[in-house]
């Protein structure tokens, strides 16, 4: 249970505010936590970000509290959620790309051919 705020469990998609901050309850099965962390990092120039587990299983809650005055909390939450979408896509793509990036970098700076060691074996030392 999150202390200090009243959570309406039937609200969808799960946005609350007390005027000073906005909280978003997020389904980890749709938006993985690393994506929420990456999105949150991008907002740290504008807001204080706090992420913690939700009382609901498989969910977590992102709290955003503006560091500067004049930010509309609804706009802030909406823009964070859009960023979360992009970060989720990046997270998904990176799962495929990470080993490829490593292979490309290794091949770029390798003296031999890492892609086809049978056709192009390394020279004997």
Partner 1 sequence: MKLLFRPREHFERSNDQRYDLLPFRFMRWADGTVLLTNEAGEHQFLDSASFERFHERRLTRELTAYKDLKAKHFLADGDRQLAVDLLATKVRTKRSFLSGGIKLHLFVVTLRCDHSCAYCQVSRVTEDRTPFDMTVETAGKAIELMFRSPAPEMKVEFQGGEALLNFPLVRWCIERIETLNRTEKRRIEFVIATNLVPVTHDMLEFCRAHDVALSTSLDGPADVHNANRPRAGGDSHEQVMRNLERARAALGADRVSALMTTTALTLRHPERIVDEYVRQGFRSIFLRSVSPFGFAVRGRQTLLTGTDEFLTFYRAALAHIIEINRSGTGLVEVFSQIVLQKILTPFATGYVDLQSPTGAATSVVAYNYDGDVYASDEGRMLAEMRDFSFRLGNVHRDSYADLLGGPVAQALVEASCLEALPGCCDCAFLPFCGADPIFNWATQGDPIGHKPTSAFCTKQMGVITHLFNLLKGSDAFTRRLLVSWASAVPIESAR
Residues lying near partner 1 in the complex (CB under 8 A): 38, 41-46, 86-87, 89-90, 93-94, 96-97, 100-101, 103-105, 107-109, 113, 115-116
Q: How far is the CB of 122 from partner 1 (least distance, A)?
A: 16
Contact predicate 3/40, CB 8 Å: no
When the beta carbons of 16 and 63 are compared against partner 1, the nearer one is: 63
Task: Report d(CA 22, CA 30) in Å as an integer.
Answer: 20
Cα–Cα distance between 26 and 114 in angstroms, integer? 42
Considering the complex, state which of residue 22 and residue 39 has its C-beta at the smaller distance from partner 1.
39
97 near 76, Cβ under 8 Å? no
Shortest approach of partner 1 to residue 31 CB, angstroms? 15
Q: How far is the CB of 64 from partner 1 (least distance, A)?
A: 13
* CA 52 – CA 85 distance, rounded (Å): 19
């Amino acid at each position: 249970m999150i202390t200090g705020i009243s959570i309406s469990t039937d609200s969808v998609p799960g946005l609350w505010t007390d005027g000073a901050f906005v909280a978003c309850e997020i389904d980890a099965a749709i938006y993985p936590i690393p994506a929420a962390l990456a999105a949150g990092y991008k907002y740290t120039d504008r807001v204080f970000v706090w992420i913690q587990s939700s009382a609901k299983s498989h969910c977590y809650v992102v709290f955003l509290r503006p560091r500067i005055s004049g930010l509309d909390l609804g706009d802030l939450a909406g823009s964070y959620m859009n960023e979360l979408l992009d970060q989720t896509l990046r997270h998904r793509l990176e799962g495929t790309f990470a080993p490829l990036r490593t292979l490309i970098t290794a091949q770029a700076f390798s003296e031999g051919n890492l892609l086809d060691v049978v056709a192009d074996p390394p020279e004997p030392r």
